Amino acid sequence: MSEPIIAQKSPYVLKMKPGSFYWCTCGKSKGQPFCDGSHKGSSFAPTKVDIAEEKTVAWCGCKHSKTGAFCDGSHSRLA
């Protein structure tokens, strides 16, 4: 699998508390938008994201964002 699976064509908008999170890059995780280890055996690895203060985050759901874990609207250009 060289291209990630599109988990959804919209962001996961979540209120996040401070901490470290691992964003799923492969699209196979059952706990989107976070990694559950489903990438094992593939070329994908999760992206660690550190959140310093409580805030609302738009996590990329399509896995094609040019800004990594954060939605940049790329989902609107996917077929």
* pLDDT tens-place values along the chain, 79 residues long: 589 999 999 999 999 999 999 999 999 999 999 999 999 999 999 999 999 999 999 999 999 999 999 999 999 999 7
Model-level pTM?
Answer: 0.93
Read off the amino acid at residue 50: D
DSSP state of 23: E
What are 31's two structure tokens? 């706990």
What are 49's two structure tokens? 């994201």
What three-state secondary structure class fits 76? helix
